[in-house]
Amino acid sequence: MAGKYINILLAGLLTILLLACSDDRDSLSGQASGDPLLTFNMTRAGGDIVSNTLVYLFDGDGGDAGRFNQKVQGVTYAPDRLSMTVAAGTWDIALVTANTDFSGGLIQPMRSAAREDLKMWETRTSGGTLPSMPELRTASIDGQLVIGGQDNSVSGITILSRNVALVKVVIADAGGLDVNGTHNFELKDVPTTLNWEGGLFPTAKNPRVSSVPMTGTFRVKDSTSLPGHQRSDTLYFVIPAHKGNDYLSVNPKDTTGSHMKVSVDLACEGGTRFKKTDVVIPRVPRVNGILLVRLLVGGKLDVTADVLGWEDVELNADLSQTQLYTDKASVGLSHKDTLYVNTNASDFTVDYPTGGWITSVRKIADNGVEITANVDTYVDGQPRSSYITVKANNVTKKIPVTQRPDEGTITVDNKRLVFCPNLHENRQVAITSTGGNWKFLTTNPRKAAANVQGGNAGISNVNFTRSSVAYNKTLDEGHLVYGDTLVIVKNVMTLDTDTIRLVNCYIYVDNDNTIDAVAPQGEATQAVTNSQDVIVYGGTKMIENFNPQQTWIHDISWDPIGQILSFTTDRNTGNANPEDDDEPRSGTMTFRHASCPDYEVTANVYQDIIVTIPPFHYFVVKFVWTAGNDVDIAVGFFGNHLSGNGSNNALYDGVTVGWQQNAPSYAAGDGVGRNALKYKNDRLLTWGGDATTKQGETAFFNAPLFENDANSPRKIKMEIYAAWYDNNAPTLPAPMTMSIKAYKDGEMYIGAGKNASDPENNRNFYNRGGTELYSEEHIVSIDKLSTGSSDAKAYKTKYTHVATVTYDRVKHSAKIDVWARQK
């Protein structure tokens, strides 16, 4: 199985890595059926972000692409992840969350409506003012293909980022204001509405704005360092912001063109008031950014604005006109990078959080700041963030620092190495590492072994040798060694990685390289075989170019999903010697591995006319007769050796049921005593009782008790013996009818009648509630006479050996060989 994995970094932008998988036959744990399970791992997000996340599905292709389909229900919330199932299809997935419960304000989309036409959020007035909205975060995961009933592997990158802007307003410099007075502020023409694509509604250039302002009240205080100057506290407002198609760019173009306005009503010393209305803010807000608005009051109102990263601290101008700039707003590095500082101050200082993954920050020539990071603790695929601070006089700038790979610094010349037996045992790949040494993150992969596990910067030639094991169906060792795997090679200095896929092709044919072909039954002239004896590993898991060596084998096909080889065989008739008609026969077929076309396998095909019974739960053998009154049978499992030690399985082997046999007495609760063999706390083999007046004698075995039985071989043999008792015995040899039935499900019970004429007499077992899968009869000659219990104990010589039943506990089927003479 398989799911989607989301790694989230707690910063203004939360990076999401997506992977999806359902059933994968190359993996040891796969999802067998049902809609694919999606798991959003959010281990770095706060619990409030996780618990508030909602998931919506929009159609991802066709004429309905971009139209709303459904909200995902039944989401399971854990402290660090979300889990859910979705139907197969191509989806545009929308995630919406916030650090507070926002669901009451979210506008639910209408089914079949387009995303850009659907309002997602609209801030509504409350008490005559416009309030701030929650810090809404959204992400779009478009065109994600989920295929039901087969392997899936989908990957992509998206950003779970704020769909809002933070507006910070401060009186940066003023004079003559009453520090004890009331100072009112209004923010006007504020956007209110977002659509389900994360854009301003109805458009970025002409958004819906509120006629009611956002309001706040400043607290003003005098400067202690600069007499005659005043400064206020900061007002904060969270508003909808436009998430355009280039919002991650340093200078995005797809932004709103709508400017907001400010109005102030400030108390002055002496009881007068300073009022200004509808002054335009010169900058527009940016999504996931801070719009810092500074008010300068001195006989007139000047408004300046800057757009800052959300993580930036406020640029605290110290009124002495200190300027502090850096050549980049943030730093992305693997091991080391340099930031350059431009300031009119005489000097500056740098600092960073100690104890983290940033190991060194130091000033170098030309106002450079060298930042060094720890590469040993970096977790691949999980970029991490921190910061450094640069300070000049009273101005401090906080610079985000993200550790991530330097892409393109590690490459391999062959990303797919295909192996197969004898022909391609070894493959070579050239690894080019720039700026640092390299190593394999996947050490000693089971599919193939590399001659080295790491190397130096430059070009390294690496040899891989194919792995091979003797296939063991019990341990499934072949599933571990054959097939596909990924080997990741990493530049240990730049953190960049590349991937090599190892494809270890192998074709396994069960049963000593022999495929059992179904024989036509009854009047049929052909039979179709759907064999699971062939297992194909590696690449597409396809075999092709089928070439049977005999004309009676034809119409061959391969199902790579079910791993089923299908072919048709003709009836074995028309031989030169008629006695050879319908006899067993052998043939061969050859086929090639599609991912390694020069790897060819020749498999034997064996067709046996012996009837193979379909998978069953109960196997019943019954003897009925007309001549004579009394027949005795002996039924037991024999020759079932444990693998490797050659000794019989004493837990049930060699113990027979029947009159005067070795199995202990078993009472079914119906008042009839009979012999039964107990195994795994249940009846394995049961005899119906001694029939002395032609009632018939029955024995059955309980097949499910052999399921996954470590104490038994795969194929288990049961022997059947019978003899006439001397009480009114017929002239020998005498015929009797052996009937064989197989049942699936239900229960076995013994009849209640006491006479042979009763439909269900108390010497025979019957099935209730199940399905009869198979039935056949043989009239056999019983030519042995039993004269008492001593003969019963010597049944192997005193009774007629009637038949052998061989049960295949892996294929859940049985075959019968009849040894007694048949009429």
Cα(658)–Cα(670) distance, rounded to whole angstroms? 18
Pairing of β 76-78 and β 81-85: antiparallel
Upper half-sphere CA count for residue 19 (Cβ side, 13 Å) = 7
Q: Evaluate if residue 168 carries a pLDDT over 90.
A: yes
Range with the poorest average pLDDT among 17-31, 254-268, 638-652:
17-31
Cα(720)–Cα(801) distance, rounded to whole angstroms? 6
Q: Evaluate if residue 466 carries a pLDDT over 90.
A: yes
Tens digits of per-residue pLDDT, 643-665?
555 566 788 888 899 988 876 66
Q: Is 756 left (phi over 0), alpha (psi -120 to 50) or beta?
A: alpha
CB pairs under 8 A, 24+ apart, for 274-277? 274/177, 274/301, 276/300, 276/301
CB 568 within 8 A of CB 554: yes
158 pLDDT band (50/70/90 cuts)?
low
Neighbours of 182 (CB within 10 A): 12
Report the pLDDT value the prediction gives residue 360, as an integer from 0 to 100.
94
Report the pLDDT value the prediction gives residue 150, as an integer from 0 to 100.
54
Q: Please choose, from the candidates 516, 529, 298, 501, the residue with its C-alpha nearest in 3D space to the C-alpha of residue 417.
A: 501
Instruction: Give me 803's structure tokens.
Output: 């038949």
> Could you tell me what percent of the chain has a pLDDT over 90?
48
Q: Evaluate if residue 564 carries a pLDDT over 60.
A: yes
Residue with tokens 């975060």: 137
308 pLDDT band (50/70/90 cuts)?
confident
Average confidence (pLDDT) over 184-189: 97
Rounded to a whole number of angstroms, the distance between the first and last alpha carbons of the chain is 56
Going across the sheet that includes 349-351, the strands are: 331-333, 395-403, 384-392, 349-351
316 or 689: whose pLDDT is higher? 689
**What CA–CA distances, in Å, run from 181 to 186, 265, 301, 347, 763?**
17, 11, 18, 40, 108
Tens digits of per-residue pLDDT, 88-125?
888 888 989 988 888 888 999 998 888 889 999 999 99
Average confidence (pLDDT) over 252-262: 93
Tens digits of per-residue pLDDT, 579-620?
566 677 899 999 999 999 999 999 999 987 655 566 789 999
Pairing of β 715-725 and β 785-786: parallel
Q: Evaluate if residue 269 carries a pLDDT over 50.
A: yes
60 or 131: whose pLDDT is higher? 131
Cα(431)–Cα(463) distance, rounded to whole angstroms? 11
Amino acid at the residue 818: V
Upper half-sphere CA count for residue 8 (Cβ side, 13 Å) = 25
Cα(648)–Cα(716) distance, rounded to whole angstroms? 11
The 3-state DSSP class for residue 49 equals helix
pTM given for the model: 0.42
CB 194 within 8 A of CB 202: no
Who's near 542: CB < 8 A, 6+ residues apart? 536, 558, 560, 593, 594, 595
> Could you tell me what percent of the chain has a pLDDT over 70?
87
Report the pLDDT value the prediction gives residue 484, as an integer from 0 to 100.
93
Instruction: Give me 806's structure tokens.
Output: 């061989």
Tens digits of per-residue pLDDT, 349-362?
999 998 899 999 99
Report the pLDDT value the prediction gives residue 321, as an integer from 0 to 100.
56
Measured at the alpha carbon of residue 239, what is the angle toward residues 235 and 242, in degrees to the nearest 5?
Answer: 140
Quote the DSSP letter at residue 420.
B
Report the pLDDT value the prediction gives residue 447, as an integer from 0 to 100.
93
Q: Evaluate if residue 314 carries a pLDDT over 50.
A: no
Average confidence (pLDDT) over 140-168: 71
452 pLDDT band (50/70/90 cuts)?
very high
Report the pLDDT value the prediction gives residue 91, as an integer from 0 to 100.
85
- H or E segment to which residue 480 belongs: helix 477-481
